[in-house]
Amino acid sequence: MILMKKFEASGNEVIRVNDVTKQYDNGTLALRNVRLTIDKREFVSLVGPSGCGKSTLLRIMAGLDRPTTGTVEAMGSETKGIDNASFVFQDANLMPWRTILANVELPLEMQGTSKRECREKAQNALSKVGLSAYFGHYPRQLSGGMKMRVSIARALVSEPKVLYMDEPFGALDEMTRQRLHQELLDIWMNSDLTIVFVTHNVFEAVYLSDRVVVMEAHPGRIKQIIPIDEPFPRNKDFLSSNSFGERVRSITDAL
């Protein structure tokens, strides 16, 4: 099955950032006049130098922080953030005393979901990331890549509409990172998920995304938005193609 997924202005917006400015209490202007619209099922990456406000923007989009001025609209209604969103960070942040199954059950447990439904959904989420043989393991028994998979499963278990990922693969070796790219794209293509992904890695951004948002610092703002109009699924051929090299070059130039 060839699934074409390109960015088009479909009018099917999930989230809209309206002129967001963020000034922290110490005076740092982390974001200035950021405008960005993201469509349902889009995969959008944010790249830019350290301190340009990528994490700040992601937190504000997810409703974990408030803008100083401007608004974030989710699903057409103005809100502090989006209800149905999950976050994945670079550090998997698992509870060492819980099995991986119990770690993935936790978000549902906190919502008051029945024990049985927690178990079923957590098992299902762990299976999606290839960990069905590890339900009873503890985090210390897993590799870094496996811990990240658990973290992704924990984010998916509550069936979010938007997945916010802040440098999730930054600490992984290249081979593990590439495997996780493929797994993440598979999950994304087989769902209605919208993904907003922060990375320092231009190759990663081009490989994964429908669009790459290039930011600059002092104050943090959007410099350019580069569409990666290549079909999905993507594979190693794309990585070695001229088109890939050209995209990487135009983003590197913009940086």
Ligand X SMILES: Nc1ncnc2c1ncn2[C@@H]1O[C@H](COP(=O)(O)OP(=O)(O)OP(=O)(O)O)[C@@H](O)[C@H]1O
Binding-site ranges for Mg ion (CB under 5 A): 55
Q: Reduce the DSSP state of residue 123 to 3 states and report it.
A: helix
Short-list 36, 10, 6, CA closest to 215: 36
**Which residues lie below 8 Å from residue 114, measured CB to CB, with a gap of 6+?**
none
Q: Which is nearer to ligand X, 107 or 220 (CB)?
A: 220
Q: How far is the C-alpha of 79 from the C-alpha of 154, rounded, in Å? A: 24
51 touches which of Mg ion, ligand X, none (CB within 5 to 8 A by kind)? ligand X
Minimal CB distance to Mg ion: which residue? 55
| Nearest alpha-carbon partner for 14 in 40, 34, 32 | 40
Give the count of residues interacting with ligand X (CB under 6 A).
13
Could you tell me the smallest distance in angstroms from the CB atom of residue 168 to ligand X?
A: 12
Minimum Å distance from CB 228 to ligand X? 21
Residue 65 in contact with residue 31, Cβ under 8 Å?
no
Q: In the structure encoding, which two tokens stand for residue 23, read together?
A: 């000034």
Three-state secondary structure call for residue 216 = strand
| Binder of residue 50, out of ligand X, Mg ion, none (CB less than 5 to 8 A by kind) | ligand X
Shortest CB 66 distance to ligand X, Å = 12
240 binds ligand X (CB under 6 A): no
Which CB atom, from 26 or from 77, has the smaller least distance to ligand X?
26
Beta carbon nearer to Mg ion, 58 or 72? 58
Interaction residues for ligand X, span 50-109 (CB under 6 A):
50-56
